[in-house]
Structure 1
Amino acid sequence: MPRKSAAKKVEEPSSDDVSAQSDVEMQDQQDQQDDKMSGFKKFGSQYNVDTPDYTDSDTNPNTTANSVAGDSAPADGRRRRAEEMNMRKSMYGKKAEGLRASKEDDTIRRFRYLLGLTDLFRHFIDTNPNPRIKEILAEIDRQDAEETKKSKASKVRKGGAAAERRRKTEQEEDAELVREEKHGGHNETVFRESPGFIKGGTMRDYQVAGLNWLISLHENGISGILADEMGLGKTLQTISFIGYLRYIAGITGPHLVAVPKSTLDNWKREFAKWCPEVNVLVLQGNKDDRADLIKERLVPDSFDVCITSYEMILREKSHLKKFAWEYIIIDEAHRIKNESSSLAQMVRAFNSRSRLLITGTPLQNNLHELWALLNFLLPDVFGDSAAFDDWFSQQNADSDAIVKQLHKVLRPFLLRRVKADVEKSLLPKKEINLYVGMSDMQVQWYKKILEKDIDAVNGGAGNKESKTRLLNIVMQLRKCCNHPYLFEGAEPGPPYTTDEHLVTNAAKMVMLDKLLKRMKAQGSRVLIFSQMSRVLDIMEDYSVMRGYQYCRIDGSTAHEDRIQAIDDYNKEGSEKFLFLLTTRAGGLGINLTSADIVVLFDSDWNPQADLQAMDRAHRIGQTKQVYVFRFVTEMAIEEKVLERAAQKLRLDQLVIQQGRTQQPAKNAASKDELLTMIQHGAEAVFKSKGPVGPAADGELADDDFDAVMRRGEEMTEKLNKRYETLGLDDLQKFTSDSTYEWNGETFQPRKKEVGISWINPSKRERKEQNYGIDSYYRKTLVTGGRTENKQPRIPRAPKQITIHDYQFFPERLAELQDKETAWYRKENNLKAPLPEGPDEDLETREADQQLAQQEIDDAEPLTEEEKAEKERLIEKGFPEWNKRDFQQFLNGSAKYGRTNYEGISEEVDGKDAEEIEAYAKVFWKKYKTLDNWQKHLGVIEEGELRVRQSEEKKRLIAKKISMYRMPLQQMQIKYTVSTTNKKVYTEEEDKFLVVMLHKYGVEGDLIYEKIRDEIRESPLFRFDWFFLSRTPQEIGRRCTTLISAIVRELGDGDLKNKNGKRGYEEEETEEEEEEQPKKKTKNGVKNKQLDTVKAKGSPASATPSRASSVATNGSATKGSATKGKGKGKKK
């Protein structure tokens, strides 16, 4: 039965469960009441009263303050909504209690199952300090001991094997059936083919096997990791499992699925395709959109599966953590590999029965990250990371034993399959490393980077160089290997042109250009990945130059544009040849099987990121042979980056594919390893006097290209074979020293060759400092050396001030400065520049240039009198005033009035009242000389109008208050008929608001926050929850309505009919104030009683409404009668 219908039914608890349920419900109610009352603890403690719980009756027009306090019976509508709220509380309380019971049963079944597999799990469970875990474990041991004892005793009595054949007693059989029923002795569900509830197609055999594995985890109370290789349909397997829970196990949810933002749309589409009946909620969007989704679907529990992004989990955690989730599913689970991250801590805090992790890369760096994933899945088993690490560190003597033992530990939790094993129709991808050289420009820049830090490159600085400094050098060298135009000043220009130099100045571009021409001719489509988005900028220029149509995705691409680009590339008959992607942004959750060529322009430090990128094309649905071409700059740092990646991949193979072992390699490169990478090939670069390596001279013939391809295949095969032979012990002993060995030859530089004899270092040694990525190299990475300039230097231009209209300088000053500038140009033979503008105005701009040049030719120097006059004119303006000061002056004049210099000075920073007065006098004399002076004047006059209106409002409120000796008791407010029929505030509340307006005024900061605090501190409203729960915005709207009523009553009409308009402000605010209570809900239930009052204009029952209670002391009655006569005449 769907949960919607189930939510309408309240089951009466049995007599045996009354006590337990009442305790749970009382605790739930107390927790909810504590949450609701958190904002009013000060109020309750001050008056020593118990503030009542909030119900929908507080927005009921038939409920008065006395009825809330309990003096009269609630209306039927209030009772019905209270019953619905209590029913919802009871339902959620039962859900939470049911989840707790299910989790305890799962724990017992889980421990029994795991301990039955291997006693290794006892070591990890024993480290859990939770006493309840120890009790469960002790009870399992006790039951097992009793069974063993009975079995031995039976053998003694019956003799040997006869005991095995004896009949069970009724009590023994009943006890065994109950135990099996409680602890998972039910029949297992196994699918032999694609389930019937999968509608959009047929699941493959290995996917059905994955579904059966997930079901077996669920039936044994275990959470797991679905770690199939990318492209094997992990999303479909997960959706089919949710379908099993819904249609077979009867568990409709709720389930939470956390995914990368880029895959939200894909998950939604997959659910609609494979399991369309599942009610899916995608929690995403801006703040207002999310608020609507939370109010209309999340809070009412109107969904089965909630799909959201990692960011939304952190932003909406207050709502999500209230649910009792059946399953929490995290896609790309390596996002929580750091157990200290905000996301990992938050999802651990969510209440759920089971959890499922989905990842194509279960191990990216080390075993501690693997422990973090296991800890998220089974915190009661893997609760102590130190115990996890210590257990394996004690096993160093026998590496084979570690692999076998750890394989036993992980076998129940992790399913890992690769395409080669399960997907026979998918051809294996062919990966080729293409080794290229460096162009002449690349060699020069590579040298400059090394020369800048020659002491660090040579290792002669000892321990002085910081790791950050080495990382900066590594990054700059990698940029140089990609393209020298990534450095400022490298690209020839201005003007900057898109020409062949874009290709010929980078060896990788030469190789890419040749490769793409071949791929285009054979009808292939290409994905190009790079670490750097600026490389993609160069690729875009290249694609335009060659006429290749392309799409692009990087980290700054919006979600909607990302989806559009993928759809454009994948649509039938698409003419897009290239797809340009950054490795990190484009490597997750994208299906691009319409492409069959993948180019890795550069390698990621983490080889798993490159694998993710390759599998965008090499996945289910691919019908062609996929080729992956990785560009590697030979005899440069990229060779070492590639070797390190191969080492990490070998670790993944040992740990994930064949078992588990301890970490044989560090997460990040050490200083020595970084230094090794930097030094690799450096000596050869310094010795070269031009381009080095394949494709370095800007050209690549067909024969040369074929030779590079063949050599790349051979080098790739050698590299793979080298690491395939490395075992566990080899990886443990694998240090940076061994990276000097390649193809049987040692490239480790000898100490005397690494010395300063490479390149003479700078003569002085600078102090160590922090190095930024761009600023560090900006001064050094410049083309060419400095040469002496033979031409005489042009003298400095005369000092002049920049004239702005708001500084009110005399016009004569601009004339003198122009004359001085013209003479300076004439003296130094500088021509008049051509004014900027469109090409169609070229003739006009050339004519203006000729006039300006004529002025220069006729220019004469300033006389001494003119120079003195210039200095005097400068003093007559306001050079110290800037644009910000001017804008603040306008705002201050609008806020306080044009003559309130003290008030304006509070708005203008750094200016006192005297300076404001001096400026204001000049301003009001010359304001018409300003650009847009009408706009500036309008701002001030509009502000002054508001000031006058505010003063008038304060005067009328003071007049209203002065009419009564005791305003709170005697004040009478004249309401309009529409306001009387629709308002929900009592007369006592309105009078209190008017008195507070008289106290605090009608304009200023935090006025309504202060009034709200006064309401909460006043004993008059200690039981009036409606009034106590109003927000400052709601109070402000009500105060505006009351001010309008007072102005209408006592004003002379000026405020209501200004500029021929009829009080639009009061009409608008009254409408807003009247609509607001209609939106007031409690747990999503609208106040239908209030709707009835608004529709009919009268109370819905005989009980006096909050609005009708205003008609006291004859005031409102008289007003209503008068209005009624008017209506009668109109009829």
Structure 2
Amino acid sequence: MPRKSVAKKVEEPSSDDVSAQSDVEMQDQQDDKMSGFKKFGSQYNVDTPDYTDSDTNPNTTANSVAGDSAPADGRKRRAEEMNMRKSMYGKKAEGLRASKEDDTIRRFRYLLGLTDLFRHFIDTNPNPRIKEILAEIDRQDAEETKKSKASKVRKGGAAAERRRKTEQEEDAELVREEKHGGHNETVFRESPGFIKGGTMRDYQVAGLNWLISLHENGISGILADEMGLGKTLQTISFIGYLRYIAGITGPHLVAVPKSTLDNWKREFAKWCPEVNVLVLQGNKDDRADLIKERLVPDSFDVCITSYEMILREKSHLKKFAWEYIIIDEAHRIKNESSSLAQMVRAFNSRSRLLITGTPLQNNLHELWALLNFLLPDVFGDSAAFDDWFSQQNADSDAIVKQLHKVLRPFLLRRVKADVEKSLLPKKEINLYVGMSDMQVQWYKKILEKDIDAVNGGAGNKESKTRLLNIVMQLRKCCNHPYLFEGAEPGPPYTTDEHLVTNAAKMVMLDKLLKRMKAQGSRVLIFSQMSRVLDIMEDYSVMRGYQYCRIDGSTAHEDRIQAIDDYNKEGSEKFLFLLTTRAGGLGINLTSADIVVLFDSDWNPQADLQAMDRAHRIGQTKQVYVFRFVTEMAIEEKVLERAAQKLRLDQLVIQQGRTQQPAKNAASKDELLTMIQHGAEAVFKSKGPVGPAADGELADDDFDAVMRRGEEMTEKLNKRYETLGLDDLQKFTSDSTYEWNGETFQPRKKEVGISWINPSKRERKEQNYGIDSYYRKTLVTGGRTENKQPRIPRAPKQITIHDYQFFPERLAELQDKETAWYRKENNLKAPLPEGPDEDLETREADQQLAQQEIDDAEPLTEEEKAEKERLIEKGFPEWNKRDFQQFLNGSAKYGRTNYEGISEEVDGKDAEEIEAYAKVFWKKYKTLDNWQKHLGVIEEGELRVRQSEEKKRLIAKKISMYRMPLQQMQIKYTVSTTNKKVYTEEEDKFLVVMLHKYGVEGDLIYEKIRDEIRESPLFRFDWFFLSRTPQEIGRRCTTLISAINKQLDTVKAKGSPASATPSRASSVATNGSATKGSTTKGKGKGKKK
């Protein structure tokens, strides 16, 4: 039914006037757009479905639900507008089709001029129009050849090269160029002027010129620079070229991973701020607003959205005739049968661009899928593409040359070492570690649990699945035994040194991080397993390292916050924990210079992506990559297989080539060989094996492991550098069985013969004699004899944190007590950790510390009593969590609201909070980062004051009326009036509900929504009943602003009585006023 409304004042324009004015303005705008449609911007297809199959259909919002009840003139006006829009979009789409045909002719001419190889693929296209274009090109070429021969006969051989165009030829060419805007090539020698946020590097300008040349020749391409070389900037600069030089403002569609949406938006704002960017993302309601207000009215140049949103909002996006469709991380469409690949192929566009930093994963068919997306008129038949290359398998060199010819026009691939001279090459070191005693025992258990499969005796049907499971379990064991249920001692579970000592990788990591911390480095730690990161978090807390974390379950907003926290100036975050796949894309962490790969990914590209989070443009330090490898275990074979694949990828793709179809997954024999590698040595061992296996690693041992790691890394790299393409294509894991002079290769026919025997069970000697048992018990007292004298327990001391506000004297007494303990037990001062160049300084510090130990004296009785008194003056029972909750409570309730703060701090009452707060506000400047803590509290208090001010405004407004729902008057601002969709009755109800529930708190707008649905006043008001809490909140904010301005105006005039009716006058005039308003509301009242 039609919406009810309260009539506005007489001087405001009527709805008919506003509608008429809007019609005129809209017609003018559409006429302007029609006159310039040859720019092909903001185009719609008319032969696509209407807005009926999307969950954010703007036509199903409140403004169009009136249906048959809407006035006839309104339906007619909307129908005329829709017809006008369809007519305009139809003409623009027709212009785009004409432009695409011209691009096709130029594209075919260009490609056929490079090599006749493209004619083979074009001829396979069944489209008759393609054949007509090809025939026309051949006809024109034949005429040119004929004229050339005739000219040679008349004027001699050289005249053919100087033949002038006829007038008709020149006129035809001028008309064609005028019609399609010409094709004058643009070449930039330096960073373009429309790039505002900085200066492009030379190779980035070269990449821009390459993209421009593709555009001039009507070709789509793949920008495949190595990660970190600024592909995003090159793409943005190309869109800037289209806008400022070519006069093509859009629309462009950019599809990116969800995690990089905000980064793309920031990059556009930085480099080309004038480009109108629409980020299509959010929940259903937010997207509906964006589509209605920006997408449908064409008020954007570039639409950036995620792959998921393309599938959800396909009905809207496929209506547009896009200038460019740009897809970041192009491997997402390498499977042409996926939903995303099929949908983006259905979109209408003039050109397309793929962006990828890892084209090396593509096999021959996947490469065809990408080329088919770029140029479907050239690469239309996958079977013809595969058949043509399969015919040349006999000659490897020939196929490589042909692939190079095919890829050269479409693919630009550069690496950092070639173009970025200021970026130091990263240094990779494989650190080989052993296994702790617990790891060895679990490794044995895994192998023994399925010894038949380990020995190759399992059936063919399920054998590979069993082997894959064994591989996964062995890799978990190499990382940390606590990944298995029941391995960690407990309950109770403690965060203690056993986290480190029970895993050799953790021992190595612990030693490495101490060195990196001392030299001022910051570290990224990658692992495939999120549960490894759980252990890392416990370890970081134990060592006091500040950290951030991202894994696959991290929310998008939390991911952005973590990256910003780590990269901000002066950040104290030392570690960033990431899973390899979740942290590999769209993340810039150049503030770190150390990368630790705790385990290796099956796909070497995933590890390269992880390294490039730190090793990219903007990095000013030398980047070191430490890869942990468990020696004589499955991880060695995983690393070798990855190195083999990486070398093959480098050979075939780095020069614009691709590899032939191959199985990416490991075969059954490869899995079996990986499992068997080192298994026999593990079964024979009776304790920890390899470096860092006994839970300790001295400085000399650590240096030796580093040197050995460098040597073995260099040996591994050299091994694969000598292999050529033919060698690698015939290469299997059989040739990786040699290691350190020993061959591990089993004969395939004798897999079941060379058995690995599980460890023998050793019987423990049992003494069942009662006399001997009691005799031994009496001698030892029931305890195991301790052969080494024990060092006396260190004196009990408390850990002092700055937020506990202990007197400084306490730290002095504890240092004195510790020095005496070391002197009494002949303990020497340790050498402080740090870089080798500071060795003299560290040795001097060690001598000073030793001097303090030598001169130490025990605490006197008076000093011991003083120590106890000083402890009582601090807050030893307050931990870091209590302190953070105190800050949050102070920000939420105010610094003096002790009752409120106590609700935030667990286990603390108001008296304890008051005692702590008094000391805090006296000594808060002694805290580290006290300005940050103070800022948090002051910002919160400001919000509290603003909330109280809003409450005061609402209360004052309500108090001015006896019956606010009937008498309240709200004076709207001009901007509010232009956007009104709420009636005054609805607005007054919202103000009354704000007075009832307040303006801040949990679920306020949900409660107001429930009140609306339960109120009989709005039983038939569909619009008001269908508002979401978010929409109600936005309206309430607008109303508070309007009330504030109204009260300020009344206060300035100094006559509140004249501005609003008093209680007495309101009561006296209530009947007539209300009656009049109701009468108007049922008549021609206007919407607010």
Fold shared per TM-score above 0.5: yes
CA displacement at 1:813 relative to structure 2: 61
> CA offsets per residue over residues 662-700 of structure 1, 9 Å max, x none?
426421111121112111111111111111111111111
The yes-or-no answer on 1:10 pairing with 2:7 is no
In 2, Cα distance between equivalents of 1:928 and 1:236: 43
The 1:476/1:854 distance shift into structure 2, 3 A limit, reads same
The structure 2 residue matched to 1:483, chosen from 480, 483, 490, is 480
Change (3 A) 1:78 1:363: same
* Partner Cα separation in structure 2 for residue 97 and residue 778 of structure 1: 105
Matched, 1:308 2:265: no
When residues 523 and 78 of structure 1 are mapped into structure 2, their CA distance, relative to the original with a 3 A threshold, is same
Provide Cα deviations, 1:5-28, integer angstroms capped at 9, x if missing partner.
9999999999999999999999xx
Identity within the alignment, % = 100
Structure 1 gap ranges (5+): 1047-1086
Bigger radius of gyration among the two? 1
Of 406-415 and 1096-1105, deviating more is 1096-1105
> Any conservation in 1 of the 2:57–2:288 contact (CA below 8 Å)?
no
Q: 1:594 to 1:176 in 2, by over 3 A?
A: same
| Kept after mapping to 1: 8 A contact 2:434/2:630 | yes
Equivalent residues of 2:229, 2:617 under 8 A apart: yes
Query: Per-residue displacement from partner, 1:240-266 (whole Å, max 9, x unpaired)?
Result: 111111111111111111111111111
Per the alignment, do residues 38 and 145 of structure 1 end up closer, same or farther by CA in structure 2, a change over 3 Å counting? closer
Contact 2:255 2:306 in 1 (8 A): yes
Which range moves more in the overlay, 104-113 or 8-17? 8-17
Q: 1:1021/1:820 Cα in 2 relative to 1: closer, same or farther (>3 Å)?
A: same
- Partners of 2:898 and 2:685 in 1: how far apart? 74
CA distances 1:581-617 after superposition (whole Å, capped 9, x unpaired): 0011111111111100000000111111111100000
- TM-superposed deviation, 1:89: 2.1
Moved more, 984-993 or 482-491: 984-993
Identify the range of structure 1 (660-669 vs 140-149) with the bigger mean alpha-carbon deviation. Answer: 660-669
Question: How far, CA to CA, are the matches of 1:104 and 1:774 in structure 2?
Answer: 104
Shift of 1:476: 0.6
Q: 2:523·2:576 contact (CA, 8 Å) conserved in 1?
A: yes
**TM-superposition CA deviations, 1:178-213 (whole Å, max 9, x none):** 567778973201111101110010000000010011
Match of residue 630, structure 2, among 629, 633, 643 = 633
Question: Match for residue 283 of structure 1?
Answer: 280
3-state DSSP of counterpart to 1:355: strand
Deviates more, 1:607-616 or 1:784-793: 784-793
Bigger mean CA deviation after superposition, 1013-1022 or 545-554: 1013-1022
Contact 1:810/1:876 (<8 A) preserved = yes
Shift of the 133–32 alpha-carbon distance from structure 1 to 2, 3 Å rule, reads farther
Give SS of 1:598's match.
strand
Q: 333-342 or 68-77: which moved more?
A: 68-77
Q: Secondary structure of 2:432's partner? A: strand
Select 2:418's aligned residue among 416, 421, 424: 421
Which stretch shows the higher mean deviation, 90-99 or 859-868? 859-868
CA contact (8 A) 1:981 1:1098 kept: no
Distance 1:1001 1:839, change over 3 A: farther
Distance 2:207 2:968 in 1: 76
Deviation larger for 72-81 or 356-365: 72-81
Decide whether aligned partners of structure 1 residues 460 and 424 sit closer, same or farther in structure 2, where only a CA change above 3 A counts.
Answer: same
Counterpart contact for 1:437–1:692, Cα < 8 Å: yes
Structure 1 pair 2–551 and aligned structure 2 pair: CA distance change class (3 A): farther
Structure 1 counterpart SS, 2:1056:
coil
Aligned partners of 2:902 and 2:909 also within 8 Å: yes
| More divergent stretch after superposition (158-167 vs 981-990) | 981-990
Structure 1 window deviating more from structure 2 (378-387 vs 43-52): it is 43-52
The farther-off stretch of 14-23 and 921-930 is: 921-930
More displaced stretch, 163-172 vs 763-772: 763-772
Q: Which residue of 2 aligns with 1:25?
A: 25
For residue 329 of structure 1, give the secondary structure of its aligned residue in structure 2: strand
Matches within 5 A, 1:912-931: none
Which structure 2 segments of 5+ residues have no match? Answer: none
1:797–1:59 Cα change, 3 Å: closer
CA distance in 1, matches of 2:733, 2:775: 31
* Paired residues of 2:425 and 2:622 also in contact (CA < 8 A): yes
Out of 462, 467, 480, the residue aligned to residue 465 of structure 1 is: 462
| Residues 767 and 336 of structure 1, relative CA distance in 2, 3 Å threshold | farther
Matches of 1:67 and 1:721 in 2, distance apart?
Answer: 70
Q: C-alpha deviations, 1:146-165, integer Å up to 9, x for none? A: 22122223333444334444
Is 684-693 or 981-990 further displaced after alignment? 981-990
The CA deviation at 1:332 is: 1.2
Which residues of 2 match residues 283-432 of structure 1 at below 5 A? 283-432=280-429
Is the contact between residue 982 and residue 1094 of structure 1 (CA under 8 Å) also seen in structure 2?
A: no
Aligned-pair CA distance for 1:351: 1.3
Deviations 1:903-956 (A, max 9, x none): 999999999999999999999999999999999999999999999999999999
The answer as to whether partners of 1:529 and 1:582 remain within 8 angstroms in 2 is yes
Aligned pair in 2 of structure 1 residues 479, 929: CA closer, same or farther (>3 Å)? Answer: closer
> 511-520 or 1024-1033: which moved more?
1024-1033
Tell me the distance in 2 between the aligned counterparts of 1:392 and 1:419.
31
1:481-560 equivalent positions in 2, closer than 5 A:
481-560=478-557
Distance 1:205 1:13, change over 3 A: farther
SS in 2 for 1:781: helix
Q: Secondary structure at the match of 1:663?
A: coil
Go from structure 1 to structure 2 and tell me whether the alpha carbon gap of 1:132 and 1:730 turns closer, same or farther (over 3 Å shift): same
SS in 2 for 1:465: helix
* RMSD, aligned CA: 16.6
Q: SS state of the match for residue 1100, structure 1? A: helix
Contact persistence 1:62–1:75 (CA under 8 A): no
User: How far 1:739 moved relative to its partner?
Assistant: 2.6
Correspondence 1:839 to 2:836: yes
CA gap 1:468/1:187 in 2 versus in 1, 3 angstroms: same
**Separation of aligned partners in 2, 1:161 and 1:385:** 45
Is the partner of 2:325 in helix, strand or coil? strand
The whole-number CA distance in structure 2 between the counterparts of 1:985 and 1:968 is 15
Q: 2:834, 2:623 → 1: CA distance?
A: 52
**Cα deviation digits, residues 1031-1089 of structure 1 (max 9, x gap):** 9999999999999999xxxxxxxxxxxxxxxxxxxxxxxxxxxxxxxxxxxxxxxx999
Matches of 2:870 and 2:238 in 1, distance apart? Answer: 83
Partner of 2:600: 603
TM-score, scaled to structure 1: 0.63
Alpha-carbon spacing, 1:840–1:1012, altered in 2? closer, same or farther (3 Å): farther
- Evaluate the alpha carbon distance shift between residue 295 and residue 1111 of structure 1 in structure 2; reply closer, same or farther with a 3 A threshold: farther
Task: Say if 1:872 and 1:385 are closer, same or farther in 2 by CA, change over 3 A.
Answer: farther
CA distance in 1 between counterparts of 2:1080 and 2:1068 reads: 14
Instruction: Report if aligned partners of 2:45, 2:319 keep a CA contact under 8 Å in 1.
Output: no
Cα displacement (A) at 1:641: 1.0
Q: Distance in 1 between matches of 2:773 and 2:274?
A: 58
CA-to-aligned-CA distance 1:766-807 (integer Å, 9 cap, x gap):
999999999999999999999999999999999999999999
Flag the 1:412–1:1019 CA change in 2: closer, same or farther, 3 A. Answer: farther
Residue 983 to residue 1115, structure 1, CA distance change in 2 (3 Å): farther
1:745: Cα distance to partner?
Answer: 4.0
1:695-733 Cα shifts (integer Å, max 9, x gaps)? 111111111111111111111111111111221211221
Deviations 1:80-133 (A, max 9, x none): 655544332222112221222221111111111111111111111112121211
SS of 1:431 mapped into structure 2: strand
Q: 1:827 to 1:671 in 2, by over 3 A?
A: farther
Distance 1:14 1:168 in 2: 65
CA drift of 1:759 comes to: 5.9
> Against the structure 1 CA distance between its residues 1102 and 64, is the aligned structure 2 distance closer, same or farther, given a 3 Å change threshold?
farther
The equivalent of 1:893 in structure 2 is 890
Asked whether the 8 Å contact 1:975–1:1119 carries over to 2, the reply is no
Q: Among 746, 751, 763, which residue is 2:748 paired with?
A: 751
Query: After the TM superposition, which of the residue ranges 139-148 and 912-921 deviates more from structure 2?
Result: 912-921
C-alpha spacing 1:1043/1:474, structure 2 compared with 1 (3 Å): closer
Residues 37-92 of structure 1: CA deviation (Å, up to 9, x unaligned):
99999999999999999999999999999999999999887776555443322221
- Residues in 1 aligned to 2:40 and 2:1066: alpha-carbon distance in whole angstroms: 26
Asked if 2 retains the 8 angstrom alpha-carbon contact of 1:392 and 1:662, the reply is no
Deviation at 1:286, TM superposition (A): 1.3
1:761 is matched with which residue? Answer: 758
Worse-matched range after superposition: 544-553 or 965-974: 965-974
